[in-house]
């Protein structure tokens, strides 16, 4: 039995575009961005070059720190996926934590 239904994404990416802070009707600050991920992944015994962009947002206190990240800086983003809005089938990455990418060997620990 699943203890929790898990929806967690950990992604190494860089910000290629970001918006200014906007506020929800409840006054919560939100910043949106486009993240770029590039890597090599193994699939069926072959190496694949992976590159994609994903829409992301940071809400609440984290949105202010998110704005301070320089474009193109490799970061480790953690969060979850959800619909862009109630009627959308498109997904957006909701960032709940992030840190600057350091030594890649630490990602395997």
Prediction pTM value: 0.84
- Residues 15-69: tens digit of each pLDDT: 999 999 999 999 999 999 999 999 999 999 999 999 999 999 999 999 999 999 9
pLDDT the model gives residue 108: 41
* CA atoms of 69 and 80, how far apart (whole Å): 20
Architecture of domain 11-102: Beta Barrel (2.40)
What span, in angstroms and rounded, lies between the C-alpha atoms of 49 and 5? 30
With b for 16 or more beta-carbon neighbours within 10 A and e for fewer, the 21-42 pattern comes to eeeeeeeebebbbebbeeeeee
Q: How far, in whole angstroms, is CA 36 from its chain's centroid?
A: 9
- The pLDDT score that the predictor gives to residue 28 is 96
**Residue bearing tokens 């709940």:** 96
Joined tokens for residue 52:
């994609």
Domain range annotation of the chain? 11-102
In whole angstroms, what is the distance from residue 92 CA to residue 41 CA?
Answer: 22
């Amino acid at each position: 039995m699943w203890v929790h239904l898990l929806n967690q994404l950990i992604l190494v990416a860089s910000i290629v575009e970001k918006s200014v802070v906007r506020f929800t009707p409840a006054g919560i600050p939100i910043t949106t961005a486009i993240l770029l991920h590039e890597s090599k992944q193994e699939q069926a015994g072959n190496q694949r070059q992976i590159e994609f962009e994903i829409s992301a947002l940071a809400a609440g206190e984290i949105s202010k720190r998110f704005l301070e990240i320089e474009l193109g800086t490799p970061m480790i983003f953690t969060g979850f996926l959800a619909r862009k809005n109630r009627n959308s089938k498109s997904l957006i990455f909701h960032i709940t934590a992030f840190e600057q990418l350091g030594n890649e060997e630490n990602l395997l620990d």
